[in-house]
Chain A
Amino acid sequence: MKSSVLTHKNLLVFVLTVAMVVSFLPVKIARHVAAWPRDFVAAAIAPLTQPLRKVGNAIRGESSFVQVGFPINAQAITTQESYLELIAYTRQLQEQLNQARQIITQLGELRRVVIDGVRLLPAEVIAYQSDTNIERLTINRGKNHGIVEGMPVANGAHLVGRISFAGAKTSTVKLITSPGTRLVVRTASPIMPVSQHEALLQLIVGHDANRGVFVARGDQGDPIVAGDLAHLVDDRWPSSAMGLIVGKVLSIEPDAKTPLLRTQVRIVPMYPLSRLNQVLVILPEEVSP
């Protein structure tokens, strides 16, 4: 009696061995192995995660659609079905109109800041994930739409992050609030043009209690006040991202170690980046899908 090699136990051992080998592949190869399945799973769950995110944001009090209430007339029973269909259709149109308005507003804000020679690609956020050392959003645009890793992502005139992974249909945006992010910014009053301010700070995002807050050390006498906006001037980022708003100065306190000489400046993004529903990817003009 022949014993078959393809037993269940052998198959299980084979799969576990392959998993062990793949776990220890160099990152250049491991990324390629995981790229297609990752993109496939993100695209597969997108139809469900997108509306769930909106529901989650609505529960937190940031609704992205307008709730319209129509009284149902008990006497109009014969036309109730078509009436309810019309209500549902009207709500759908209003939601689409609100989304279009948001995109137009974002484009308008961004055009005041970003230089010419770029294309702006609107994208819907389909997921948010947070780990100990990275915060990221997944968007429903990928290489098929011209996206490449490293491209900056904005929401209006506010910097959101950079494309850290580009699949065929989805991409991942590493948020600027990820721990360890370092940005060079210039502060400016909200009512004055950026070019008129001189203070230059290097920012570091803090961990734990300061999660999501940018902390920098300035000098006593710096022309910075709470409420100033911090604009990106970091040359490690593409030029198309220069001038985008990183956040708002929350407080300026004496530095714990050298209170007479230095200050600790805390800057927070103006909107919670984890709850964004739409973003704009800044593409070079010559890139085509």
Chain B
Amino acid sequence: MRWFVFAIVAYVLLALQVGFASLLTVQGMQPSLLLPLAVFIALHANGRTAAWACMLIGLLADLETSIGSLGAFGDVTLIGPLLLGYFAGFWVVAVLRGMVVRETLLGHVTLVVIAGTFVHLVSVAILVIRTIPWLLNERPEAWSASDVLFTRFLSLAYTAFLTFPIGYFLARLKPIFGFEPTKNPAARYGIRR
């Protein structure tokens, strides 16, 4: 994969997500424009490249997300929850991609929903573990795991809807990405079929 093409596309999608946030936000639900890109990379790139790309996207998502106010700190950003979440999402796509038709939008959207579920489950699980009293005992103000999961799953549905146009454009850009032909990348990580 050509990393500079990936960097440009990720930059543009992140800027669109942040720049159009007030326009795209509906009842507190904000779509993620990076998740379709992560799934697209995981679908078409070889396992090694896809893992690093998904983790980079997760890092960007972490840096653009706030978990809220914690004690004296008004706005806290954590590196890690979404990075690990996106890695989990990559793993799921790597296992399932043999079962979907990669060239179709419907396959892309289906995997966005499945991968997104794992992304949010892993990231929220990490935040919940941080609230355990005998561990860190850090719960952000007005934060509730169920509220966060509910909102994020609604946002995931919104993201899936937007994956149709985004996936279409990414598919048109596929030759520019320069993906290497893949054999069975899941086998590199000990996943047998």
Contact = CB atoms under 8 A, between A and B. Distances in A.
Q: Is the interface of A mostly helix, strand, loop or mixed?
A: helix
Nearest to B11: A45
Interface residues of A, number: 57
Interface in A13-52: 15-16, 19-20, 22-24, 26-28, 30-31, 33-34, 37-38, 41, 44-45, 48-52
A274 interface: yes
Interface in B119-173: 126, 129-130, 135-136, 138, 140-144, 147-148, 151
Interface in A136-194: 136, 138, 149-150, 162-165, 172, 174, 178-180
A40 to B, nearest CB: 8
A96 interface: no
Contacts, number: 168
A178 B21 CA distance: 16
Contacts of A162: 74
Given A24-B129, A26-B136, A136-B66, A52 B73 contact: no
B143 A133 contact: yes
B187 interface: no
Interface stretch (A82-90, A123-131, A235-243, A248-256): A123-131
Given A31-B77, A48-B12, A130-B21, A38 B28 contact: no
Nearest to B148: A132
A2 interface: no
Given A37-B63, A163-B74, A133 B15 contact: no
B96 interface: no
A129 B78 contact: no
A172 B23 contact: no
Interface in B32-85: 48, 51-52, 55, 59-60, 62-71, 73-81, 83-84
B66 A23 contact: no
Nearest to A150: B74
Interface string B3-35: 000000001101110111111010110100000
Contacts of B141: 133, 180
Which of B16, B68, B73 has most A Cβ within 10 Å? B68
Contacts of B136: 24, 26
A127 B20 CA distance: 8
A52 B19 contact: yes
B80 A19 contact: yes
Nearest to B66: A134
B19 A49 contact: yes
Interface stretch (A56-64, A99-107, A110-118, A221-229): A56-64
B87 interface: yes
Contacts of A164: 69, 73-75
B165 to A, nearest CB: 16
A59 B19 CA distance: 13
A120 B159 CA distance: 39
Contacts of A174: 69, 74-75
Interface of B: 11-12, 14-16, 18-23, 25, 27-28, 30, 48, 51-52, 55, 59-60, 62-71, 73-81, 83-84, 87, 126, 129-130, 135-136, 138, 140-144, 147-148, 151
Interface of A: 8, 12, 15-16, 19-20, 22-24, 26-28, 30-31, 33-34, 37-38, 41, 44-45, 48-53, 55-57, 59-60, 127-134, 136, 138, 149-150, 162-165, 172, 174, 178-180, 207, 211, 274-275
Given A22-B80, A27-B73, 17 more contacts: A12-B51, A16-B87, A26-B138, A27-B76, A30-B79, A31-B73, A34-B62, A45-B18, A48-B19, A52-B18, A60-B23, A127-B21, A130-B25, A132-B147, A164-B69, A178-B69, A180-B141
5 contacts: A15-B55, A28-B73, A37-B79, A127-B19, A131-B151
